C-alpha cells in the first residue's frame, strides 16, 4: 500500500511516499480502506521529532481518517466490513489502509461525504475532551478560545455555543479568521497579536472567564490564569510557545484555579470510546441538522502531503486541510489548494 514516510526528522521536505505492508487489525480493531485523512498540527510536531507516537502506535503520520471498513477482528460487533466510517486513530492515517480501534469509529453523519467526515474526529474528540471533560464547561459560562479558526477551535466554539449557550470570546490572527469565529458562535473575536489583547479580553468578560483553551502555553500561561474568574480552568492542548512557564502557584491555590493539559493521543481506547459515544449522542445530530458545520479550507492528494504540511506550518489554513487517497470515492476530480 502507499503510505507517507519520513526521512529522519525535520522539515516538510523529509516527507515522501513509500510502499508498506497493509496492517492487520488486532483484537478490538478494524481495518479501514482510507478515502481521506485530515492533516493536523500534531502530525507536524511528530514529523519534527517533538511528538513521538505512543508505544504500539503506527509510526505513520495521521490521526483521523474516513473510509470503508474492509476487515474486522472477531470480537468487533460494529463497525463491520462494508460500513462507511470516520475514526480517530493513534497513527497510520496517511496510508491506503489504516487500523482503528472499533470504539473510536463513528458513522459518517447523514449528508456528509468522506472529505468532510475525515475532518471531524481529531477536532471534535479533542474539543469535547477539552471543554467537557477537562474544562467542565457549564451552561452559560464564559469561554476564551485561543486560535479559534483552527479545526479544533471551530469545533469547540460550535459545541460551546450550541450545547452550553456559552459566552465565547475567540482569538485569531486575521480579520477573515475572526469573522469565521463569529459565524461559528463566538460573541467577540480579537487579534492575539495585538499587545492589548489581554485588556480587551478582560473588558469583554467583566468578572473573569470560566474556561480558557490554549495551545501556546509558555509565557502566555500566567496572563491567562490572570484572566480567569475564581474557580476557573485553563486547559492547555499543547505548548507551542514554550515548554516552561513562570506560574504563581499561591495565586492558583487561593483562587481555586485549575491548570491542566489535554493531550489525547496517549489516552486509553476505553477513554476515547467514551468520547466517541458522547459525540455520537450529542454532536452528530447537530451536524446532521446543519447546526454544526466543518470547514474545509484545502484538499491535497496523498502525494502532496509535503505541500499540505507547508500550508499548515505557514498558518494560512482556516479550518481543516484534508488529504485525498481515493479521489473517486471522495467524489472529486480536482483538488482545491
Among 73, 111, 113, 60, residue whose Cα is nearest residue 329: 113
CATH, range 2-120+295-330: 3.90.180.10
pLDDT at 5 over 80: yes
Between these two residues, 251 and 324, which has the higher pLDDT value? Answer: 324
Q: In percent, how much of the chain has pLDDT > 70?
A: 98
pLDDT band at 334 (very low <50, low <70, confident <90, very high): low
Q: What is the DSSP secondary structure assignment for residue 23, as one 8-state letter?
A: P
Beta bridge partners of 211: 143, 233
pLDDT band at 144 (very low <50, low <70, confident <90, very high): very high
> CA-to-CA distance for 109 and 191, rounded, in angstroms?
33
Quick one: CATH architecture of 124-261?
Answer: 3-Layer(aba) Sandwich (3.40)
pLDDT at 10 over 90: no
Q: What is the mean pLDDT of residues 109-131?
A: 97
Average pLDDT, rounded, for the chain: 93
pLDDT at 55: 87
- The percent of the chain in helix, strand and coil, each rounded to the nearest 5, is 35, 25, 40
pLDDT at 336 over 70: no
Q: What is the mean pLDDT of residues 99-125?
A: 97
pLDDT at 100: 98
3-class SS of residue 92: coil
> CA-to-CA distance for 238 and 250, rounded, in angstroms?
24
pLDDT band at 191 (very low <50, low <70, confident <90, very high): very high
Give domain limits for the chain.
Answer: 2-120+295-330, 124-261
Between these two residues, 264 and 94, which has the higher pLDDT value? Answer: 94
pLDDT at 337 over 80: no
pLDDT band at 7 (very low <50, low <70, confident <90, very high): confident
pLDDT at 333: 56
Q: Classify each residue of 11-39 as buried b or exposed e, where b means 16 or more C-beta atoms within 10 Å of its C-beta.
A: ebeebebeebeebebeebbbbbbbbbbbb
Amino acid at each position: 500500500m502507499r503510505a507517507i514516510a519520513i526521512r529522519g526528522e525535520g522539515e516538510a521536505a523529509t516527507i515522501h511516499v513509500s510502499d508498506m505492508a497493509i496492517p492487520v487489525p488486532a483484537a478490538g480493531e478494524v481495518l479501514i480502506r482510507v478515502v481521506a485523512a485530515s492533516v493536523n498540527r500534531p502530525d507536524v510536531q511528530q514529523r519534527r521529532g517533538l511528538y513521538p507516537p505512543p508505544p504500539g502506535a503506527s509510526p505513520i503520520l495521521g490521526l483521523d481518517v474516513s473510509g470503508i471498513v474492509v476487515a474486522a477482528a472477531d470480537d468487533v460487533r460494529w463497525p463491520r466490513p462494508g460500513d462507511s466510517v470516520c475514526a480517530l486513530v493513534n497513527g497510520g492515517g496517511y496510508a491506503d489502509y489504516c487500523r482503528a480501534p472499533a470504539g473510536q469509529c463513528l458513522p459518517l453523519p447523514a449528508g456528509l461525504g468522506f472529505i468532510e467526515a475525515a475532518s471531524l474526529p481529531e477536532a471534535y474528540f479533542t474539543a469535547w475532551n477539552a471543554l467537557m471533560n477537562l474544562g467542565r464547561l457549564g451552561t452559560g459560562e464564559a469561554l476564551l478560545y485561543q486560535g479559534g479558526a483552527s479545526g479544533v477551535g471551530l469545533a469547540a466554539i460550535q459545541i460551546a455555543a450550541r450545547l452550553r449557550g456559552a459566552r465565547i470570546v475567540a482569538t485569531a490572527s486575521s480579520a477573515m479568521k475572526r469573522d469565521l469565529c463569529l459565524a461559528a458562535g463566538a460573541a467577540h473575536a480579537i487579534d492575539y497579536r495585538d499587545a492589548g489583547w489581554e485588556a480587551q479580553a478582560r473588558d469583554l468578560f467583566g468578572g473573569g472567564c470560566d474556561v480558557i483553551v490554549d495551545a501556546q502555553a509558555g509565557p502566555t500561561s500566567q496572563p491567562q490564569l490572570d484572566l480567569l474568574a475564581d474557580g476557573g480552568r485553563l486547559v492547555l492542548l499543547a505548548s507551542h510557545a514554550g515548554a516552561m512557564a513562570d506560574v504563581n502557584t499561591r495565586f492558583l491555590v487561593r483562587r481555586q484555579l485549575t491548570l491542566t493539559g489535554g493531550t489525547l493521543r496517549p489516552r486509553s481506547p476505553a477513554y476515547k470510546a467514551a468520547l466517541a459515544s458522547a459525540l455520537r449522542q450529542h454532536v452528530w445530530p447537530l451536524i446532521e441538522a446543519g447546526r454544526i458545520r466543518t470547514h474545509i479550507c484545502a484538499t491535497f492528494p496523498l502525494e502532496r502531503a509535503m505541500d499540505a504540511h507547508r500550508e499548515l506550518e505557514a498558518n494560512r489554513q482556516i479550518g481543516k486541510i484534508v488529504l485525498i487517497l481515493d479521489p473517486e470515492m471522495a467524489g472529486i476530480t480536482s483538488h482545491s489548494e
